[in-house]
Amino acid sequence: MTGVRSGGALVVTGAGRLGRETYLRITGDGRVSAYNGHVDLGTGLRTALAQIVAEELDVDPADVEMVLGDTSRTPDQGPTIASESIQIAAVPLRNAAAQARHALLARAARAFNAAPEELQVENGEVFVAGGDRRIGYGALIGEETIELELSADVAVKPVAEHRIVGTPHKRLDLPGKATAQITYVHDVRVDGMLHGRVVRPPYAGRDTGDFVGNSLISVDEGSIAHIPGIVAVVVIRDFVGIVAEREDDAERAMRALKVAWREPPPLPDLGDVPNALTSNPSTPRTLIDRGDVDAAIDGAAKRLERRYVWPYHLHGPIGPSCSVAHWQGDGLTLWSGTQNPHMLRADLSRLLEIPEHRIDIRRHEAAGCYGRTCMDDVGGDAALLSRAVGRPVRVQLSREQEHAWEPKGAAQLMEVRGGIAADGSPSGYDFETRYPSNRGPNLALLLTGVVKADPQPSDMGDRTAIPPYAYDDMRVVVHDMAPIVRAAWMRGVSAMPNSFAHESYVDELAAEAGVDPVEYRLRYLQDERAKELVKETAERAGWAPRTAPRLVAEGEIAYGQGFAYAVYVHGTFPGTAAAQAAWVAEVAVNRRTGEVVIERVVAGQDSGMMINPAGVKHQIHGNVVQSVSRVMKEKVAFSDTAVATKDWGSYPVLNFPELPRIEVVMMPRQSEPPLGVGESASVPSAAAIANAIYDATGVRFRELPFTPERIRAGLEGTALPPPAKAPSRPRRRLLGQLTTAAAAALTTAAVAWSWHTPIARIAPPDPSVWSAATIERGRQLASLGACAVCHTAEGGAINAGGRGIETPFGTVYATNITPDAETGIGAWSYTAFERAMRKGISRDGHHLYPAFPYTSFARTSDADMQALYAYLMSQAPVRAEVPESRLAFPFNLRAAMAGWNALFHRPGTLEPDPARSEAWNRGRYLVEGLGHCSGCHSPRNALGAEKTGRLHLAGGMAEGWEAPALTALSKSPVSWTENALYQYLRDGWSPHHGSAAGPMAPVIEELRELPDKDIRAMATYLGSLNDAPADGDLASLAARLASESHARLVEGHEAGARLFENACAICHGADALAAPDAPAIPLALNSSVHSDRPDNLIRVLLEGIPLPPRPLSGSMPSYAGAYSNGQIAEIAAYVRARFAPDRPAWEGLEDAVGHIRGG
């Protein structure tokens, strides 16, 4: 272009709601910018719009800057929905470009002294055919400002002259996307930006009812006091948000913040969609009532009444919602991924009580959303948090929040009454549809109570409610109803379920009539283009005509082919037709397991004019893949009160191995007006697949998804059982096991020794009296004893106490063992310290609880005890009061502990065993003394004393975790050897057993301070308690166990298997384990999977392992937020059955999960 730098511009504007709106701008340097209120949701709209502008102006599409969706720069063209961007929203853009061209050519005509018809344009340069002189658009504008009023009446280029539109064109955004050069909204960074997270109420995914905005009881800000960098906790009714300097701290705070909520009211049982939807208040709306439906049905030779059920679906964008807001005192800038910027601006104006023109929404690319960001809740979240702190705040929703709270694709119920006449023709079509949805009010408005959460029925159930067939007697009624859970636009809206019904039913009519289903459709289709599409698609697919299901089978596999056709009608009734689509689906059905493989889909589409045929094909592929996923796999689950689907493990979507072969048939219609292509190819999916399964098996399936369970049950002629809802039983308190007699024994024994003499306070000793070597030795011993693990509170100073230790008898708070004279042990003489360590008696004479393992510490040598004292007294004193321990009777009587000591404490040092090696004796001293392994690893009796003899180190409990047996009683499938024990104690993991987690993890950290020789000695001693074969034999055993588990098929745990395959197998599956730096140790070897108790497996699932000791292992995420007790139980049961097949199934798993989660 002959670009002359210049300040002029040609601008095409039109009148808008809040003032002039710009559609096109060409500046004096020749640059073209085009403005559209719609946004590119990843569909390639940006490229197609650029092609349209480029075509009218004869410039390169890559030279057109497309500005999409920014509220202060683009026209308000409503939400980007219903595939209408090309069909409707592009029309003024094309007109604006054509107007600009006409105006510029008129100028050029004067410059060339030629008629406009003689002029040609190439790459934005105007010339007379055959002439050498060229003038660029920029030069034609120069310094002038040329304003044009947008006109609806302008001559656009005839289709025959199109060179850019209708030609496959590479997407303009993809090079940037493949190289991380595109700034998604997630990537927006603003100076001074803080990070926000929200904490949502327990009524996940609900937006109707008095409890919405009224359920908060209290927020305990102290619960995140230990997390650094917290800037604010913002609470406005049920809106709770956290702002932090760092994103990871905001995330930690989100998980840690304790919030008390009222229990939400129950939901209707959404596992029973028909009942839930017929019970939901609704208003019938008759869309059509022609002929005499009732008479036609009464007169039918055969009547067919059918019911079709569609479940709730997730939009499920791969990137959870994100937004950055910057509140500037009287206005807001919002960086957003919304597909509905102008409506969001109106919502924010209401939320913040500022006029719309003070809000500037800058739209960025976001994850594909299929309707979800029509309701871009996170914009409201970010606005509220930024206003609270007066700085820019980026809010990122978690995956769990995204899944739980997104307004779903609604469940839908379609009921058809009708029949066939004796000649096989349809005899009456009485269609009713129920679709519980609204238009997605912004969640922040509801949570803050700005908008009352009243039922808001919408009218969106009518999309393609009228079938495309010439049913003479037809009535179509849509029951408009408010949502039950948040539900709004999702790709295909109600047209997809309605078409599932229409196209399944017409298939049934054909079968009843004994007519080929494609032939039957062609008889009653009215639209010629539809008929051509149907014929072309059937032919290209190799349609096999049939008059009954063909029931082709090889062994247990049955093969079928099914057809469906649909037109997607969008917008307010009667609406506008987008592209129409037809499918041939080919399936293989395993009649025994119920698994259905979609082998091939042939998708035909009449899109009218295709702006970018490559983009249209891409959209068809995308719709086929996504709709196969929805039909075959997807269904949102609910608890009694909320959405229960919160991750991809519980909501698997189509993956690569499941991808069918897809063939696309695009009808050549370039001379017709363009039709929306964003959704159409999804619409015939469900019926085509259902009809194919019918062709294969002779059984009709009328409810999605077509999971193996449903198909198997259908083939057996039985309905699927309702999901089991085990009533949660109150768990027997452990204390109940304590017999009255035992309690009596304690209190009686206490009479004898109830109090001990206080030992006089001393002035804190001067640490310089000890040598550095002694103090260092004491430091190692403190690590061996892991003093700091119990004596340090969350976020508190080392050894300053205050940590609550949960015991079966109540909470014991660890004391302050820094040398602070008032609150710590600064005033303790060595004598007082030694008495406490050996006898469990505090300096002031009161008894310590045996949560403090003095029964082991008593075995410490004098020299070591003195070194430990020296170290503890050399620490910096920390003043810290410790809460009173709260124990149940009789343990709340400290004096009773005297009785306990009399019964159970055997003080005294260990005599070396001359028959054993020095290492063994050293190991025993470390393990049984300061190491106090038995404190956790020995079982305890009813009074909390360690059991001895054969049960010494035979496995116990610690803080709700199982401390496994360290002896030959170990349940590990591969025995513990000295070498394995050494590696575990040294590095925190063993390739044949797993990684240290729970309370063992900090112990391993402490043991890092010990020399190798001591670790080896401990391993020598502990190894002698096991009778393991040679390491080499164990390695081959381990390999065999792992490979057998990979091949093992487990029946009867389908839900657990599905969760495992989609959530766990990524790291624990055979492929992951075979990779270099495998993220996990085979579950077939894992101690927690083989134990008698499920506790450790459940705890790891709930709590995760944030920093496992094995290098490059990665962390185990916590599933507490994503999974219900039932889901955790399903995974645990499946893991047990698959990876520990020789062990009995765990009983009462769901209760155990509930207990562990609650406790």
Partner 1 sequence: MRASARAAFRLSVNGGWHEVEAAPETPLLHVLRNDLGLNGPKYGCGLAQCGACMVLVEGVARRACVLPVAQMEGRRIVTLEGLGTPEAPDPVQAAFIAEEAAQCGYCTNGMIMSVKALLARTPRPSEQEIRAALRHNLCRCGTHVEILRAVARAVETTEVAPT
Instruction: Restricting to residues 986-1045, name those near partner 1 by CB under 8 A.
Output: 1002
- Identity of the residue, 379 or 850, whose beta carbon is nearer to partner 1 in the bound complex: 379
Q: How many residues does the chain have?
A: 1159
Site for partner 1 in 196-255 (CB under 8 A): 226-228, 246-249, 251-252
Inter-residue contact 243 to 234 (CB < 8 Å): yes
| CA nearest neighbour of 1089 among 994, 1007, 1003 | 994
The answer to whether residue 1119 forms part of the interface with partner 1 (CB under 8 A) is yes
* Interface with partner 1, residue 180, by CB under 8 A: yes
Phi-psi bin for 391: left (phi > 0), alpha (psi -120 to 50), beta?
beta
d(CA 224, CA 259): 11
Which CB atom, from 224 or from 851, has the smaller least distance to partner 1?
Answer: 224
CA-based nearest residue to 628, from 544, 558, 553, 564: 564
From 169-177, 301-309, 821-829, 892-900, span contacting partner 1 (CB under 8 A): 169-177
For partner 1, the closer of residues 716 and 794 by Cβ is 794
Alpha carbon distance 885, 812 (integer Å): 5
DSSP assignment of 390-443 equals TS-EEEE--HHHHHHHSPBBPPEEEEEEEEE-TTS-EEEEEEEEEEE------H
Q: How far apart are CA 273 and CA 503, in angstroms?
A: 20
Task: Return the residue of 729, 1115, 1145, 1159 that touches partner 1, per CB under 8 A.
Answer: 1115
For partner 1, give the closer residue by CB, 174 or 422: 174
Instruction: Tell me how many residues contact partner 1 (CB under 8 A).
Output: 90
Contact between 365 and partner 1 per CB under 8 A: yes
> In the set 1113, 1124, 1125, 1127, which binds partner 1 (CB under 8 A)?
1113
Distance CA 714, CA 1000 (A): 49
Pairing, β 125-128 against β 134-136: antiparallel
In this structure, are residues 960 and 1017 in contact, taking their beta carbons and an 8 Å threshold? no
Instruction: Check binding of 1079 to partner 1 (CB under 8 A).
Output: yes
When binding is defined by CB under 8 A, the residue of 63, 76, 184, 362 that contacts partner 1 is 184
From candidates 102, 170, 550, 916, binder to partner 1 by CB under 8 A: 170
Which among 687-695, 738-746, 988-996, 1065-1073 is the span making contact with partner 1, rule CB under 8 A? 1065-1073
Sign of the CA dihedral with 614 first, then 616, 617, and 622 last? positive
**The one among 301, 522, 1065, 1102 contacting partner 1 by CB under 8 A:** 1065
Instruction: Report the site for partner 1 in 946-985 (rule: CB under 8 A).
Output: none
Decide: helix, strand or coil at residue 125.
strand
- Residue 10 pairs with which residues in a beta bridge? 26, 146
**Rule CB under 8 A: is residue 338 a binding residue for partner 1?**
no
Min dist CB 166 to partner 1, Å, is: 17
657 binds partner 1 (CB under 8 A): yes
Piece in contact with partner 1 (CB under 8 A), picked from 172-180, 453-461, 569-577, 908-916: 172-180
Q: Which is nearer to partner 1, 226 or 285 (CB)?
A: 226
- Supply the minimum distance, in Å, between the C-beta of residue 542 and partner 1: 20
CA 616 from chain centre, in angstroms, equals: 30
User: Does 655 engage in binding with partner 1 (CB under 8 A)?
Assistant: yes
Residue 178's H or E segment, with its range, is: helix 174-178
User: CB of 586: closest distance to partner 1 in angstroms?
Assistant: 16
Candidates 98-106, 972-980, 1038-1046, 1071-1079 — which segment interacts with partner 1 by CB under 8 A? 1071-1079
- Binding window for partner 1 (CB under 8 A); candidates: 74-82, 129-137, 368-376, 988-996: 368-376
Query: Quick one: 691 exposed, middle or buried, by C-beta within 10 A (0-12, 13-18, 19+)?
Result: buried
**Binding residue (CB under 8 A) for partner 1 from 8, 37, 241, 368:** 368
Enter the tokens of residue 986. 């040294």
Pick 208 or 398: Cβ nearer partner 1: 398
Interface map 792-811 toward partner 1 (x if CB under 8 A): x-xx----------------
Q: Give whichever of 139 and 1055 is closer to partner 1, judged by the CB atom.
A: 1055
The reply to whether 86 sits near partner 1 by the rule CB under 8 A is no
Contacting partner 1 within 298-317 (CB under 8 A): 316-317
From 365-373, 889-897, 1019-1027, 1141-1149, give the range in contact with partner 1 by CB under 8 A. 365-373
Q: Is 1107 in the site for partner 1 (CB under 8 A)?
A: yes
Contacts of 297 (CB under 8 A, 6+ apart): 303, 417, 418, 419, 427, 428, 430, 473
Q: Which of 659, 744, 760, 876 binds partner 1 (CB under 8 A)?
A: 659
User: How would you class 181 by CB atoms within 10 Å of its CB: exposed for 0-12, middle for 13-18, buried for 19 or more?
Assistant: exposed
- Integer angstrom CA distances of residue 464 from 126, 573, 650, 1006: 47, 9, 31, 67
- 65 strand-pairing partners: 33
For residue 682, give the DSSP letter.
G
How far apart CA 223 and CA 219 sit, in angstroms, is 9
Query: Which of 256/893 has CB closer to partner 1?
Result: 256
3-class secondary structure, 950:
helix
Would you say 3 or 1002 has its CB closer to partner 1? 1002
**Residues in 372-401 that interact with partner 1 by CB under 8 A:** 396, 398-399
Residues numbered 662 to 691 that lie near partner 1 (CB under 8 A) are 662
In the bound complex, what is the minimum distance in angstroms from residue 173's beta carbon to partner 1?
Answer: 7
Is the Cβ of residue 362 or residue 971 nearer to partner 1 in the bound state? Answer: 362
3-state secondary structure of 643: strand
Position 192 contacts partner 1 (CB under 8 A)? no
Q: Please identify which residue in 91, 182, 735, 895 interacts with partner 1, judged by CB under 8 A.
A: 182
Q: Restricting to residues 608-647, name those near partner 1 by CB under 8 A.
A: 614, 618, 621-626, 629, 647
Q: Indicate whether 1095 belongs to the interface with partner 1 (CB under 8 A).
A: no
Task: Decide if 63 contacts 124 (C-beta within 8 A).
Answer: yes
Residues in Cβ contact with 301 at an 8 Å cutoff, skipping those fewer than 6 apart: 419, 420, 421, 422, 427
| Other CB atoms within 10 A of residue 668 CB | 10
Q: Which one of the spans 264-272, 570-578, 787-795, 872-880 is the region binding partner 1 (CB under 8 A)?
A: 787-795
Binding of partner 1 by 1114 (CB under 8 A): yes
As measured in angstroms, the least distance from the Cβ of 1063 to partner 1 is 6
Q: Among residues 19, 730, 1011, 1111, which is the contact residue for partner 1, using CB under 8 A?
A: 1111
Closest distance of CB 353 from partner 1, Å? 32
* Comparison of 525 and 817: residue with beta carbon closer to partner 1: 817
- Taking the alpha carbons at both ends of the chain, their separation in whole angstroms is 72
Q: Which stretch binds partner 1 (CB under 8 A): 146-154, 446-454, 703-711, 1108-1116?
A: 1108-1116
Q: Which is nearer to partner 1, 109 or 662 (CB)?
A: 662
CA distance 976 to 980: 6
When asked if residue 772 is in the footprint of partner 1 (CB under 8 A), the reply is: no
Residues contacting 815, CB < 8 A, separation 6+:
791, 801, 824, 825, 882
CA angle 25, 28, 32 (to 5 degrees): 35
Tell me which residues in 32-71 interact with partner 1 (CB under 8 A): 41-44
Beta bridge partners of 25: 11, 33
Choose the binding region for partner 1 from 181-189, 445-453, 687-695, 925-933 (rule: CB under 8 A): 181-189
187 lies in the binding site for partner 1 (CB under 8 A):
yes
List beta partners, residue 68. 36
